[in-house]
Structure formats: C-alpha cells, structure tokens
Amino acid sequence: MSHSPDVSASRQHIRQHIRQVRRALTPHQQQSSAHEAAKRFLSWSPAASAQHIGLFLSVDGELDTRPLIERLWAMNRSVYLPVLHPFSTGGLIMVRYEPDTELVVNRLRIPEPRLDVRQILPLQHLDILVTPLVAFDSTGQRLGMGGGFYDRTLQNWREHGFIPVGYAHDCQHVEALPTERWDIPLPTIVTPSKLWAW
C-alpha cells in the first residue's frame, strides 16, 4: 500500500512516460548505447575482479545487456539471470545463464532460464547485481516496472556482499523521484555516457 495516492500516481506517470521515451530510441541508438555502456561497465573497477555477475535480459526499450553478456562469457565470467520465484510473491532467484541455456517466457513476458535447482546462485555468492530500472534520479533512487522485485532483492545487499549497479539509458534520468519507504537507492549507475556513483 502506498502512503499517499499522489506519490503512487506520480510514480505511475513517470513510469509510463519514460517507458515510452526509451521505446522510441532507434535500433541504431540502442546498438551504440549498448556498446558504450558495456565498455563503461567493464572498465569500472569492481567489474574487473567480479566472477559471479547477475544481469537481466532487456525488454521494452531497456538498455540492451546482450553485448555485455557476450563480452562476459568471452572473459569466462559466470552470468546469472533473474527467474520469478514460483511461489514467493515478488521474489527473484538468480539462475546461471550460459550460451546453451534454454529460455522460457515468464508470466510478465520476459525470457528467463528454466528453473533448475543445480543452477541457482544464492545472493551471498553474487559479486555484482546489474539492476534494471525505468527511471533514476540525481540521488541514486530508482523506479522499476512496479513489481517490487528488485526492492526485495536489494534489501541487505551490503550484508550479502554484492554490489548493485543500475544499467540504463541517459534519457532515464529524472531530477528527483517521489520515493516510497521500501525503495533501495543504488550506489552506482552505468549509462552509455556516464558512471554515476554515490
């Protein structure tokens, strides 16, 4: 439940607006942005020593993670994708993603690996969690698609010992987001043109 209908309505408005703006990027803009962002991510120092990296498969105009995933595979890093938890509402499970991993489309229409318990990585073994977002602000607050999946997954990230990093287009930046008490700000966000750090 939201503490205020205004906050909730304004979050919904920002979501719709930014989703439309990022869907309007051309395939060429998408491609060059994906390349620039992958380079920036790989030159960020925590990425140099990270072995287990959580990513996501881009949909809906999101900054394309596929070029980054290909580079990480070529560097023999282990890549994981979020799988919707089968019964814990709003939960995500990180599952290993390799070039031959079979993907299925989940109920939110996002491709994910089939849930295989042997391929699950507990969060405390993750080094970096690359986090999707719809909008971010000048203080590192993020707004997602509205499921609360990453708000839950990012709880206690310091204790788990992984570093979250937002991955988004420059046009997803807004000056200030209306926040809710469960929002977890990101310490780092990579865009094609900038590395934001707080």
Ligand X SMILES: Nc1nc2c(c(=O)[nH]1)N(C=O)[C@@H](CNc1ccc(C(=O)N[C@@H](CCC(=O)O)C(=O)O)cc1)CN2
Ligand Y SMILES: Nc1ncnc2c1ncn2[C@@H]1O[C@H](COP(=O)(O)OP(=O)(O)OP(=O)(O)O)[C@@H](O)[C@H]1O
Give the binding site for ligand X (CB under 6 A). Answer: 56-59, 62, 82, 108-110, 132, 144-147, 149-150
Q: Which does 58 bind (CB under 5 to 8 A by kind): ligand Y, ligand X, none?
A: ligand X
157 counts as binding ligand Y under rule CB under 6 A: no
40 is written with which tokens?
Answer: 């920036």
Q: CB-wise, 78 or 112, nearer to ligand Y?
A: 112
End-to-end CA distance of the chain: 29
The option from ligand X, ligand Y, none interacting with 32 (CB < 5 to 8 A, set by class) reads none
Residue 111: which of ligand Y, ligand X, none does it interact with, CB under 5 to 8 A by kind? none
C-alpha distance from residue 117 to each of 59, 114, 126, 137 (Å)? 25, 10, 16, 36
Q: Is 18 annotated as a binding residue?
A: no
The answer for residues whose C-beta is within 8 angstroms of residue 45's C-beta and 6 or more apart is none
Tell me if 30 is assigned to a ligand binding site: no
136 annotated to a ligand binding site: no
Q: Does 144 bind ligand Y (CB under 6 A)?
A: yes
Contact of 36 with 141, CB cutoff 8 Å = no
Rg of the chain over all Cα atoms, to the nearest angstrom: 16
